[in-house]
Amino acid sequence: MGQAEWAHDLARHLLKTTLPRRWAHTQGVAARALSLGPILGDEADTLTAAAYLHDIGYAPDLVDTGFHPLDGARYLRDVHQADDTLCRLVAHHSCAVNEALNRNLLDALTAEFDEERPELVEALTYCDMTTGPDGRHLDVTERLAEIHSRYGPEHLVSRSITASTPCILAAVKATKAALAAKTRDAPGRTTPA
């Protein structure tokens, strides 16, 4: 069984019944990860697995600190002895350091989980931040606006997203550029004269 298949089954088990909308979002994020196959190569399975697992920290049984990237990553590390790359991607997805700072959990996050390679972290951020809460594809600006309207202006999540916006926009831009370059260079593609 590949990591993505294992991750799908675990995330479905943790989210489908208790948090069905979060499960719909998760499936949408995983679909976005699959669409990045041309730029991920051998790492497509890892990124798809991370997409399935990125929000499991919201599952009621896993909530500990209330900061879902850290709760999810710790669960993967401690309960499933998951691959380091998967744990790091979940811990740092979508520029989580800013919310960690606002929750006084930055030291714990960075002490326990190193950053993963920028291209992979950016790719997961791209997938998450171009997928709405019901799993539909959204432009990143629509997604940011949706988060602000869902939480309201004073909420810690909204303030953290504001701090993370440059990082999120840069991640989406970098991933789109990598995908466009790969598509442009694809064998068999002809350039108009």
Applying CB under 5 A, which residues contact Fe ion? 55, 128
Q: Is 116 or 128 the residue whose CB approaches Fe ion more closely?
A: 128
What does 33-50 look like in DSSP terms, one character per residue?
HHHTHHHHGGGHHHHHHH
**CB of residue 48 vs Fe ion: minimum separation in angstroms?**
14
Handedness of CA 105, 110, 116, 122 (dihedral sign): positive
Q: What is the rounded CA–CA span in Å between residue 126 and residue 172?
A: 5
Q: Is 3 or 131 the residue whose CB approaches Fe ion more closely?
A: 131
**CB of residue 3 vs Fe ion: minimum separation in angstroms?**
18
Q: Is 40 or 129 the residue whose CB approaches Fe ion more closely?
A: 129
**CB of residue 142 vs Fe ion: minimum separation in angstroms?**
15
Q: What is the rounded CA–CA span in Å between residue 95 and residue 160?
A: 9
Q: Is 52 or 113 the residue whose CB approaches Fe ion more closely?
A: 52
Backbone angles phi, psi at 131, to 5 degrees: -130, 125
**CB of residue 44 vs Fe ion: minimum separation in angstroms?**
19
Handedness of CA 173, 184, 179, 135 (dihedral sign): positive
